[in-house]
Chain A
């Protein structure tokens, strides 16, 4: 479990970092907190020839609010995000997901952007991004672009980032008035990857006007269930509506089995979490009918 040889780079500026990426492309990996990359290298499942440690790059460690929402820089650790009042009020899903993210030691080192760029389908942050409609800011020597969360996660551990791009920032849009959110998950043990999890939101003006259901651990990417969300719109936020949604979730997802749970188990659990998540989301804005 020792990593193969690689060349280590420690740029001080974002400019230097993207230049290195421009040169080494798919031979390089960006290292932030290292909570996923380093174990994979130890197992020799990932073998970059160059590791670009952005830990010293200035200007990537901020959580900042803008009129349009709140943004999280590439070096913001899970622990920083967990403690951030700005995120708690402006992007509550991030805050609500944190107790499920690994353990304290992992949250101290691991970064929010790192988890999103790694794109494990059973991790919380990618699903939170999809539920919240976040945009990912990708920077390369060719310039900067924003990638919508719905376009970002393209497959198992695969994102829309090009090989020369760094995910420098995630922008979470402002919450609409009357929006409640919740993150619920079931894992084998406290801190494990989810068997299935759900990041969800409901916007309610007497009836539901918008809904987001973003599942993790239920497929090869985080999954938004647009059809089920549509079913909820126009309904009152009550148990009957959520039960209907749960049944619809169970019939629309196709999770796979692994040593921790069968496909049928995950399908059943996704329904349970739909019910629990939506109930919790509705009660956070005090609209549970």
Chain B
């Protein structure tokens, strides 16, 4: 049965309130980076390597510099003198993170690697000038695949790495050897996921405005993390010596005091989490590369010594899916050039650049062994994971972090006695790996695939084998074998049971049999998962000790003098509907309407600090909590002030529809404007509260089961999806329509992952999909209707929201690939690749041979 529960009284939370953003966006009134054009701005274009792997013997920019429309040409020789290298961040035990600069000097490491920056009066002229630059390359053997990277004969992408392996880390839970020795069966398969690309509708872009008087930078950027960009630009874009930074710091009292205040605040929030950090990470970094000791002090003291940090402004953003989280080499190069020239600069990434180095993801090989007994009981799981991060690690959160989230989440909603995962990250000559909506998603794909493989081997139905091994309510409280605590919010089993009612499996099997007799091949696949959204307090530290530091979200609520309610969030919306859902939460807290609430985001001068910005399905549970509680404090402030005005006790004051009144006498109420006008005076703003929120304390799991029905056409290899069902449980829903949109968008990207999208490189590491003719995004014609069913499992305590941004994409690839394997059952097909284009389908069915 549907467990929908009324959680919100008569408020806005829980209703499909119309999106506040849409009126502006649909009328073409959105404001994107490309819309910003400061007077006299210079347009940037990057010269990019045509080779995957080569040394640069020489570079000649004389002709380009002579071009009358060109203001400046920077190569690494100039630009790298101005900037600090990208430092290692979140150093993990066993990980080596290569340091790198904005532009490549001695060597290029992928097709598209930037080697020069041209600034001209238009993008056209900038691109013309790129053709005047002569670079003498000497090609090196490319490292084009995981197999290349693991080969001992391969050329090294990074000189100081162990071959091309940047991380090799094994973790074991339980007695793995004895569990595997005593289990009745061991089912092993190797799964391989192709490289994919996040592909937001809007590419990356940055406009750096320089104030001619003060030199202050205002950076308009399509970023998911405006504060990170601000700090990184301050840290990297203008190199200063340690000596001069210290001098500045020592002689500027304001700077010093504000630093001390900020540091105290940070430690108060994060001190406990910081103590969990061990120094194994920095040690393994230093073993490989001691240059960090030289660069880090200069970078950190540089931050202390600066009086003026840039302002980052992000307005409307056309999606990111993780790709706009990192601070990119281009971002720092542009800022350094703008500072050096004292001129505003603009760069809008084109689609070829975006497909090449705007962010790739998911390229992982996973060898999975599932140990189980003949009665179907899961005993143990062993995983050998290799991730292809491409050449340059993304900053701040590199690909290796994804391997560790995969480690923690791999066991999923199932009980195991033992678990082992070896994670390797390898470098290749490809574009950079970034987080992509559910960055750990391949743990779910590989686990849900091996379960189907095992079900077939043992003669169980896929659903029976899952149900038998899943945690259920009776097991709670419990813990995943990898650490994180589980409670009733981990309701994956309930979502599966519900999905089994929605999809009548017996009826489907009859239909499948009838269809097969007619030469039509139908298949049904299930996939189940739970995700940390935000997860329990021990979640981040299970991934990497000390990573909990990233967790806090801040919001500030104020009432302005005209009575308007302004909420400032550290979240960085880029398509998730924060302006609507936060207005719903705040309106309920303050007893006002949706239109009365204004959300401020993206402007670092006005919004509270956050390392991460938007990512990790945290906008609802954490960001939502921060706006809720900051608004609640302001509500009390307003009630206290109104109590005096109305000559009543604060306990008797009620607010409804913006009317602040003594309970039961709404006719004699006052408005927010009345109270604000009376109480707020110059220099006295009593309606102002900031709240930092790290979650309600436990649980925080978002769960779902996806069920997919496919029809495979064995004449064309095309896969049709006549029915797609999602049963999701993200706890109490703020806005059902927005949740449905998030789920459906995620499923659409999952359809793309399996049937259409591949950032494929050839054996020479040349990217083969550099335009939308070759990188295929599914359109409305290819995306099935997605039925979304909601369960709303509640857990004790307030602010029980759980995130829902990523799950759609986590569940879809396993559900679809499981369905395809089921459809091809009569041919004994085994799906081991995530990417199943028509050719692959016919090969798996044995209809054609590989070329």
Contacts and interface: CB of A to CB of B under 8 A. Distances in A.
Contact of B850 (A2, A262, A276): A262
A188 B838 contact: yes
B838 A192 contact: no
Interface stretch (B241-249, B373-381, B714-722, B737-745): B714-722
A265 B776 contact: no
A189 B758 contact: no
A264 B851 contact: yes
A6 B776 CA distance: 31
A195 interface: yes
A186 B848 contact: no
Interface in A122-154: none
A265 B756 contact: no
Interface string B755-792: 01010100000001101011010110110000000000
B77 to A, nearest CB: 26
Nearest to B718: A186
Contact of A272 (B716, B771, B774, B851): B716
A1 B352 contact: yes
A269 B850 contact: no
B851 A188 contact: no
A43 B771 contact: yes
Contacts of B778: 189
B106 to A, nearest CB: 27
B211 interface: no
Given A1-B351, A259-B768, A188 B839 contact: no
Nearest to B774: A259
Chain A, interface size: which category? 20 to 34
Nearest to B773: A193
B716 A2 contact: no
B847 interface: yes
A240 B774 CA distance: 37
A263 B781 CA distance: 26
Contacts of A1: 350-352
A44 to B, nearest CB: 8
A1 B352 CA distance: 7
B344 to A, nearest CB: 20
Contact of A263 (B352, B756, B774, B851): B851
A262 B848 contact: yes
B779 A272 contact: no
Nearest to A257: B851
B847 A3 contact: no
A121 B698 CA distance: 60
A188 B128 contact: no
B384 interface: no
Nearest to A268: B848
A169 to B, nearest CB: 29
B159 interface: no
Given A2-B123, A259-B760, A268 B847 contact: yes
A263 to B, nearest CB: 5
Contacts of B131: 4, 44
Interface in A168-208: 186, 188-193, 195
A268 B843 CA distance: 11
B839 A192 contact: no
A259 B838 contact: no
Contacts, number: 77
Contact of A265 (B128, B352, B717): B717
Given A260-B837, A262-B839, A189 B756 contact: yes
Contact of B848 (A195, A259, A265): A265
Contact of A190 (B782, B848, B851): B782
Given A259-B769, A259-B774, A261-B837, A190 B781 contact: yes
A79 B843 CA distance: 38
B849 interface: yes
Contacts of A268: 842, 847-848
B781 A261 contact: no
B67 to A, nearest CB: 12
Contacts of B776: 188-189, 192
B189 interface: no
B206 to A, nearest CB: 17
B37 interface: no
Contacts of B838: 186, 188, 195, 261, 265, 269
B753 to A, nearest CB: 14
Most chain A Cβ neighbours within 10 Å, of B127, B351, B716 = B716
B716 A264 contact: no
Contacts of B89: none
Interface in A240-281: 257, 259-265, 267-269, 272, 276
A192 to B, nearest CB: 7
A261 B839 contact: yes
B266 interface: no
Contacts of B769: 259
Contacts of A272: 715-716
B848 A264 contact: yes
B508 interface: no
A190 B768 CA distance: 21
A58 to B, nearest CB: 32
Nearest to A188: B776
A259 to B, nearest CB: 5
B460 interface: no
B716 A186 contact: yes
B779 A188 contact: no
Contacts of B850: 262, 264
B259 interface: no
Contacts of A192: 773, 776
Most chain B Cβ neighbours within 10 Å, of A5, A186, A191, A265 = A265
11 contacts: A5-B128, A39-B771, A186-B838, A189-B782, A191-B779, A260-B774, A261-B839, A262-B839, A265-B839, A265-B848, A268-B848
Given A5-B128, A192-B773, A264-B839, 17 more contacts: A1-B351, A5-B124, A43-B771, A188-B776, A188-B838, A189-B779, A189-B781, A190-B781, A261-B837, A262-B839, A262-B848, A262-B850, A263-B851, A265-B839, A265-B842, A269-B717, A272-B715
